[in-house]
Structure 1
Amino acid sequence: MSEHFTVVVVGGGQAGLSMSWHLGRLGVDHVVLERDQAGHEWRDRRWDSFCLVTPNWQVDLPGFPYAGDDPDGFMSGAEVVEHLEAYAASFAPPLRQGVTVTRLRRTAAGIFALQTSDGDLTADQVVVATGPYHAPAVPRLAERLPAGITQLHSSEYRRASQLPDGDVLVVGTGQSGCQIAEDLHLAGRRVHLAVGSAPRAARRYRGRDTLTWLDAMGHYAKGVDEFGDVDEVRVRANHYMTGRDGGRDIDLRLFATQGMQLYGRLLDVTEGALTFGSDLTINLDNADAVAEGIKDAIDRWIAAKGIDAPTESRYVPVWEPPSEPRALEAGELAAVVWATGFHRDHRWIQVPVFDGRGYPTHDRGVTSCPGLYFLGLPWLWTWGSGRFAGIARDAAHLAAKITAPRRLRKAEDVIWLAGTAPETVAA
């Protein structure tokens, strides 16, 4: 006979543990299922020199605020794992590790049935806290590179010595791509970087970390519904910078003056030749414009609040791209690192709550299927939702929804389940 819980939380990272803390505090019977170990994403998908981009003071989990001696520093990957382990030990969640959920469906009786690698479970309500980074995304054109070139996804990269001697191409300039390119560059490797449209931000400005200013200005609390195009906001790339060595800017133009080869977006691989777009200049200019725009907003905030902050000169570009796109032959490369993101994989969820792109439709984590929730997605509600900064707020909101007095839905709100008759369910 299946075990039954009031709530099953799928995922044992910072989101799942935060949800468990709230449910435990409210006395809700629940279990947390984790496919690997708690905090798996921080253990196995980060390179050796990885550090958080956000300051340590933002690592503020429910009931467990950062209490270290370096609030303005940046935790390494190993320190994040240690922090999550300490968090779990602080309240002993009902965590089952090494348990994979292979199917989630809603029965005609209105409960959730979960098939797992450790047997079947049922639940009144389910929180999906598996994050957005499931399957590494590598473009099909990777198949056209010569067999002798080593290829890794960013989730597999650990250190420069892992790659064979020779030139390395990094494709993608989100946070991972830029930081991996820097890691290789600092290790003395000749790096070729295909630059995309991700924005950048200065690490510090006018005496404070830029993210500290933005937090004070309310940016982390600004709801996604305050933007004109919610769908567009939710797929925006994060600004690139780094927390390495105490935190600093990532200036691709400066790297270019030091020998890094910059290109536009990678378009094709044909007969051993790599073709790049002519968008390098506009991508670098746009990234700089975003960084300077953030500084403009900080200047206005300082002036409006009458804050005594030091002045600072503005950024001046130190390099301009050539007028024509550079060419690159595959024979020049020893390795390629694909920093091209991840695909979502929710095929195990057999409940009709996804849009045409496979994104779960929800209102602040509450789906149209009563009792099914999502937590830990980027821009679930605010900019901080996919980070430590906003998890506590989002988890508290869902805990309140889960424990709210239940009522019968109106007839027009009846849920139709595939292959069953319509039913009236509790909201």
Structure 2
Amino acid sequence: MAISPTESTEVVVVGAGQSGLAASAHLTRQGIPHLVLEKEDIADRWRHGRWDSLVANGPAWHDRFPDMEIPGVGPDDFATKDQMADYFAVFARSIDAPVRTGVDVRSVTPRDGAAGFTVETSTGTITAGGVIAATGPFQVPVAPRIIDEELVPHQIHSAAYRNPEQLPEGGVLVVGAGSSGAQIAEELRASGREVHLSVGPHDRPPRSYRSRDFVWWLGVLGKWDATAPDSDHVTIAVSGARGGHTVDFRELAAAGITLVGRTEPAADGTLRFADDLRRNITEGDDNLLGLLAEADAYCAVNGLDLPEETEVHELGPLPACVTDPVRTLDPREAGITSIIWATGYAQDFSWLQVDAFDAAGRPAHQRGVSTEPGIYFLGLPWLSRRGSSFIWGTWHDAMHVVDHIDTRRRYAQYAPALPSASPLSAPAPRLLEEISR
């Protein structure tokens, strides 16, 4: 559907991923006219922005909208990326979301002399009373320029990785050992590649414990509702692959993956790694054991008869690559021909030209309601709580944002009643009768 040269609506939602569709569902329920503009296709990052074997990191009973289950996926199974993309497309149809795909939002600016905003797009101009930025946290892949391509010729971000066959022959250094990096390294090693995995600070929860998935434990222990990170690093190493499993760096080392510390700038023709591997591994172990202890205490206090798993507490010795770590490496001698940077993403709101950012350029908001009246954010990590960037979390954040929009809308629509005649200037008939007596 083409956009006319000039058009007006109450709310423009930018992005048709999980956050944009959640916003659309709540806007529709409140009867608020809106448009959802998407540069690519619905849930395009799920379908085209991930590697081939990716699955959701949470079980299907948890990682979904509360209004609809994931078709064809068991509640305790992990949906593939295409199943997730299909899920969001079906959901959009089910709520008749006014999504327009292939529309690139180029700028949002305050209207001159009028309330609301001018939204310039690749297919026309729209005026809107409010704008919801629902483009999510995965906008611009970030890879530090610390290793020259003359040293390792083939370097890509994990966003561009699809499968082992895509890479040239030879070994691979995977930088970053969160969920993405750990899963990619495991897949590459299973394909027969020699793999080095650069491990930074991370949290390492159990995939499941005492017959409950870790997402359930985070829920009953109140950790999803945490409003600020409890440490400087929040990378989570957990996997939904192969039916879901705990990321165990000891097992990865036993499978032939060489663990190394945080990657530092190369020098003198060698790759260099920080002397922090042992600390990163043991702090990840402490995070695991701490969560297990909290889960055990919860069972005891609440009288839950869940099967005990004492063996999970026994981690075993650290592998040799951790106790005697590699600090420097000649990639030519080691046969490393590729680097995959699983180093996260940066946000890009250059199109949003409004007063809704702090001095460092970060969105300035409270639970998604920005400092610029009429501008909102959804899908950002820790928008309101730990769960904000997850599917179910953004649903609840969207509910709050749309409630705020509806409240502003009601104020804007208010008009005082017409003044009525004063009782003194127009006495009631009975009073007139009394006065006449």
**TM-score, shorter chain, exceeding 0.5:** yes
Q: What's 1:415 paired with?
A: none
Alpha-carbon distance in 2 for matches of 1:391, 1:250: 26
Alpha-carbon distance in 1 for matches of 2:325, 2:64: 47
Residue 344 of structure 2 corresponds to residue 345 of structure 1: no
Q: What's 2:329 paired with?
A: 328
Alpha-carbon distance in 2 for matches of 1:341, 1:376: 15
- Equivalent positions of 1:110-129 (< 5 A) are 110-129=115-134
Alpha-carbon distance in 1 for matches of 2:289, 2:230: 20
Shift of residue 101, structure 1, vs aligned partner:
0.7
Match of 1:366 among 364, 369, 383: 369
Q: What's 1:246 paired with?
A: 243
- Equivalent positions of 1:115-264 (< 5 A) are 115-142=120-147, 144-146=148-150, 149-220=153-224, 222-224=225-227, 230=228, 236-264=233-261
Q: Give the number of aligned pairs.
A: 400
Q: What's 2:427 paired with?
A: none
Which residue type is aligned with residue 330 of structure 1?
Answer: P
- Calculate percent identity across the aligned residue pairs: 38
Query: What SS class does the counterpart of residue 282 from structure 1 fall into?
Result: helix
Moved more, 32-41 or 60-69: 60-69
Residue 356 of structure 2 corresponds to residue 357 of structure 1: no
Q: What's 2:422 paired with?
A: none
Query: What SS class does the counterpart of residue 71 from structure 1 fall into?
Result: coil
Query: What SS class does the counterpart of residue 281 from structure 1 fall into?
Result: helix
Shift of residue 357, structure 1, vs aligned partner:
3.2
Alpha-carbon distance in 2 for matches of 1:385, 1:122: 29
Structure 1 unaligned blocks of 5 or more: 225-229, 409-427
Is this contact kept in 1: 2:14–2:131, CA < 8 A?
A: yes
Which residue type is aligned with residue 386 of structure 1?
Answer: S
Alpha-carbon distance in 2 for matches of 1:70, 1:216: 22
Match of 1:85 among 89, 112, 120: 89
Alpha-carbon distance in 1 for matches of 2:155, 2:78: 29
The verdict on how the C-alpha distance between 1:394 and 1:65 changes in structure 2, with shifts beyond 3 A counting, is: farther
Q: What's 1:26 paired with?
A: 30
The verdict on how the C-alpha distance between 1:235 and 1:84 changes in structure 2, with shifts beyond 3 A counting, is: farther
Alpha-carbon distance in 2 for matches of 1:195, 1:205: 24
Query: What SS class does the counterpart of residue 47 from structure 1 fall into?
Result: coil
Q: What's 1:312 paired with?
A: 309
Per-residue deviation, residues 150-175 of structure 1 (Å, max 9, x unmatched) = 11110010111111111100011121
Shift of residue 281, structure 1, vs aligned partner:
0.2
Shift of residue 324, structure 1, vs aligned partner:
4.9
Is this contact kept in 2: 1:195–1:283, CA < 8 A?
A: yes
The verdict on how the C-alpha distance between 1:164 and 1:69 changes in structure 2, with shifts beyond 3 A counting, is: closer
Alpha-carbon distance in 2 for matches of 1:235, 1:117: 39
Residue 16 of structure 2 corresponds to residue 12 of structure 1: yes
Shift of residue 209, structure 1, vs aligned partner:
1.2
Is this contact kept in 1: 2:66–2:392, CA < 8 A?
A: no
Query: What SS class does the counterpart of residue 398 from structure 1 fall into?
Result: helix
Per-residue deviation, residues 100-140 of structure 1 (Å, max 9, x unmatched) = 11111112423111111011111001111000111111111
Which residue type is aligned with residue 295 of structure 2?
Answer: I
Is this contact kept in 2: 1:17–1:93, CA < 8 A?
A: yes
Query: What SS class does the counterpart of residue 388 from structure 2 fall into?
Result: helix
Residue 99 of structure 2 corresponds to residue 95 of structure 1: yes
Q: What's 1:270 paired with?
A: 267
Query: What SS class does the counterpart of residue 122 from structure 1 fall into?
Result: strand
Q: What's 1:296 paired with?
A: 293
Alpha-carbon distance in 2 for matches of 1:341, 1:148: 20
Per-residue deviation, residues 263-315 of structure 1 (Å, max 9, x unmatched) = 10111111320111000000000111111111111111111110001111213
Q: What's 2:62 paired with?
A: 58
Q: What's 2:426 paired with?
A: none
The verdict on how the C-alpha distance between 1:259 and 1:76 changes in structure 2, with shifts beyond 3 A counting, is: same
Alpha-carbon distance in 2 for matches of 1:315, 1:99: 53
Query: What SS class does the counterpart of residue 215 from structure 1 fall into?
Result: helix
Query: What SS class does the counterpart of residue 77 from structure 2 fall into?
Result: coil
Which residue type is aligned with residue 189 of structure 2?
Answer: H
The verdict on how the C-alpha distance between 1:100 and 1:69 changes in structure 2, with shifts beyond 3 A counting, is: closer
Per-residue deviation, residues 199-237 of structure 1 (Å, max 9, x unmatched) = 1111111121122222233322x151xxxxx4x569743
Is this contact kept in 2: 1:154–1:339, CA < 8 A?
A: yes
Shift of residue 241, structure 1, vs aligned partner:
1.2
Is this contact kept in 2: 1:9–1:129, CA < 8 A?
A: yes
Which residue type is aligned with residue 190 of structure 1?
Answer: E
Alpha-carbon distance in 2 for matches of 1:196, 1:283: 6
Shift of residue 191, structure 1, vs aligned partner:
0.3
Is this contact kept in 2: 1:61–1:391, CA < 8 A?
A: no
Is this contact kept in 1: 2:73–2:79, CA < 8 A?
A: no
The verdict on how the C-alpha distance between 1:25 and 1:3 changes in structure 2, with shifts beyond 3 A counting, is: same
Q: What's 1:425 paired with?
A: none
TM-score, length basis structure 2: 0.87
Structure 2 unaligned blocks of 5 or more: 413-437
Which residue type is aligned with residue 322 of structure 1?
Answer: T
Is this contact kept in 2: 1:234–1:379, CA < 8 A?
A: no
Alpha-carbon distance in 2 for matches of 1:4, 1:233: 44
Shift of residue 7, structure 1, vs aligned partner:
0.4
Shift of residue 82, structure 1, vs aligned partner:
1.2
Match of 1:390 among 390, 393, 409: 393
Alpha-carbon distance in 2 for matches of 1:392, 1:28: 17
Which residue type is aligned with residue 24 of structure 2?
Answer: S
